[in-house]
Chain A
Amino acid sequence: GAVVSQHPSWVICKSGTSVKIECRSLDFQATTMFWYRQFPKQSLMLMATSNEGSKATYEQGVEKDKFLINHASLTLSTLTVTSAHPEDSSFYICSASSPNRGGSYTYEQYFGPGTRLTVT
């Protein structure tokens, strides 16, 4: 399968600071990447769709001014959590779609290893 990397893998920050998370597709180009959040014992929830060369689209209830997304190139998207608070502590995961070369669907989506954010 395709490879997606994320950095950092974990971060601890103080309340009120900003944290930037990077997501890279290593062996394919991704015009679209996705950012998810997962709280303990819950399923992944889509936060936003990151589009290369244009503005991100956010899911209902996700504050675009708090979660800044930049998709600077076909292999890199960044998520910045601004003025982080303890309630933002979560597991943030990005994904990217790679063309499905063998099956009926046009794509398969691969996930980065995730970033565990703890805000104190």
Chain B
Amino acid sequence: RKEVEQDPGPFNVPEGATVAFNCTYSNSASQSFFWYRQDCRKEPKLLMSVYSSGNEDGRFTAQLNRASQYISLLIRDSKLSDSATYLCVVDMGGNEKLTFGTGTRLTIIP
């Protein structure tokens, strides 16, 4: 089983729609959780940290379910600029060493 597992997609979604991504992680002792986005041939950019209580930033909502070892990202009112690969990232040891999922490719269609 991969340490951090994501549906690779691709997800092709019409502009304005709502899209949700899921991610599971293998280590129940994992400490910190993040969503990054990566554009083609660019570095990952931090989208949001994921907190136990769930958190929202504008059109983006992240949730964490520790019991199920599951993280989600919801994007509402999707825009063309949301097209990217979304990376689920976990700090498993609490030592700032990040483990990346393979990413979910999202394309927003006009």
Cα-based distance from A104 to B52 in the complex (angstroms): 9
A104: B residues at CB distance < 8 A: 49, 51-52
Q: Which of B41, B46, B96, B100 contacts A44 (CB 8 A)?
A: B100
Q: Which of B45, B52, B100 contacts A43 (CB 8 A)?
A: B100
Name the residue of chain B whose CB is nearest to the CB of A100: B49
Contact with A along B30-49 (1 / 0, CB 8 A): 00101000000111111001
B73 lies within 8 A of chain A by Cβ: no
Task: Using A104-B51, A104-B52, A105-B49 as known contacts, say yes or no to A93 and B96 having CB atoms under 8 A apart.
Answer: no
Task: Using A43-B102, A104-B52 as known contacts, say yes or no to A34 and B46 having CB atoms under 8 A apart.
Answer: no
Cα-based distance from A110 to B34 in the complex (angstroms): 11
Give the residue among B41, B87, B98 with the most A Cβ atoms within 10 A: B98
- Identify the A interface with B (CB < 8 A): 1, 32, 34, 42-46, 49, 91, 93, 95, 97, 100, 103-105, 107-114, 116
- Identify the B interface with A (CB < 8 A): 32, 34, 41-46, 49, 51-52, 55, 87, 96-103
